[in-house]
Structure 1
């Protein structure tokens, strides 16, 4: 099975990339039969936006599960991650387990990006993992991450992998409104 991890930041890899790397390592080491592939933006046009290509969309669509990782930026997900999400066809995330990893500068941001992502994923009909992973960025200042943080990332990873394994490609209805509407207008 295949896990796609999405680095949803325009900045060079740093603290959030370190957290995502721990999830990727956990999936490879503790979940035999799983391959992990990171999807990242091509380049950065500045501190807020980077670009994606059709290959990123394809890799997400072919994955059995996805982890979306975003720093909290002005109380929400990054514009970079939103650009990728806007490129995805509905079927790319339909009935697919998706975990949410957010990293922020302060604990009081813990629900901001997650809430927005859950709403967006609902539009796709994705199966959002019940428990997200949120961390304050200082947890990943160095490679010396605490055992508690590693354990939380391990539990988060196990949740997403277990959902995908148990679902085994099943689809759930009813179709999201966008799919139902598209069927009505096509017919």
Structure 2
């Protein structure tokens, strides 16, 4: 059984972002051989102790974030800061962002792409941005449901790579520079000795 881990990257109680994840998780669970598990913060400043293990065990990840001051919130940053570099390595990851205005469409997504590249994630090519008003009514629009399903389908499609395959070189953050013993640089203030 493969697992889609959805990351609820908001410090606020479940609301519109959680509603979008409910639809995405139901879509994933409806695919043969897949289940969905949600990773949510315990408080605005704390995540479950096994968060890194949950990310590492997932077949694919959907990171969901509100747009907060043209980026993602500190709650999500705290999770990303506690993960080891290997957590997302070659793991398919989709990005879902929600905000009030279309002008915010690229804010959090652009920053998340940079952070996920640092981890060496296999970031899905097509993120999804939703205006929060689309998630406010009693019934979600069929187009919104279809878009959330397509977002999940990207991760599922990318997750068919055989287990253990790493794509490309290790991300720069994971490379360990070889230790080279060099003599100390001479102090230019001192006269050379002969």
The answer to whether the superposition gives a TM-score over 0.5 is yes
RMSD between superposed Cα atoms in Å: 1.6
Deviations 1:70-112 (A, max 9, x none): 0000000110000000011011100000000000010110001
The structure whose residues are more often helix, as a share, is: 1
Q: Which 4+ runs in 1 deviate beyond 2 A?
A: 166-169, 182-186
Match of 1:43 in 2: 43
Q: Which has the larger radius of gyration?
A: 2
Alignment counterpart, residue 113 of structure 1, candidates 108, 113, 119: 108
Cα offset for 1:166? 3.7
Q: What is the count of residue pairs matched by the alignment?
A: 180
Match of 2:13 in 1: 12
Gap regions ≥5 residues in structure 1:
45-49
Alignment counterpart, residue 102 of structure 1, candidates 97, 102, 109: 97
Match of 1:184 in 2: 178
1:127 aligned onto 2:122: yes
Deviations 1:1-51 (A, max 9, x none): 11110000010000000001110000011x11011110000123xxxxx31
Match of 2:189 in 1: none
Secondary structure of 1:41's partner? Answer: coil
Cα offset for 1:66? 0.5
**Alignment CA distance shift 1:178-1:154 (3 Å):** same
Gap regions ≥5 residues in structure 2:
181-194
Give me the TM-score of the superposition, normalised by structure 2.
Answer: 0.88
**Alignment CA distance shift 1:162-1:168 (3 Å):** farther
Is residue 55–residue 87 contact of structure 2 (8 Å, CA) maintained in 1?
Answer: yes
Give me the TM-score of the superposition, normalised by structure 1.
Answer: 0.91
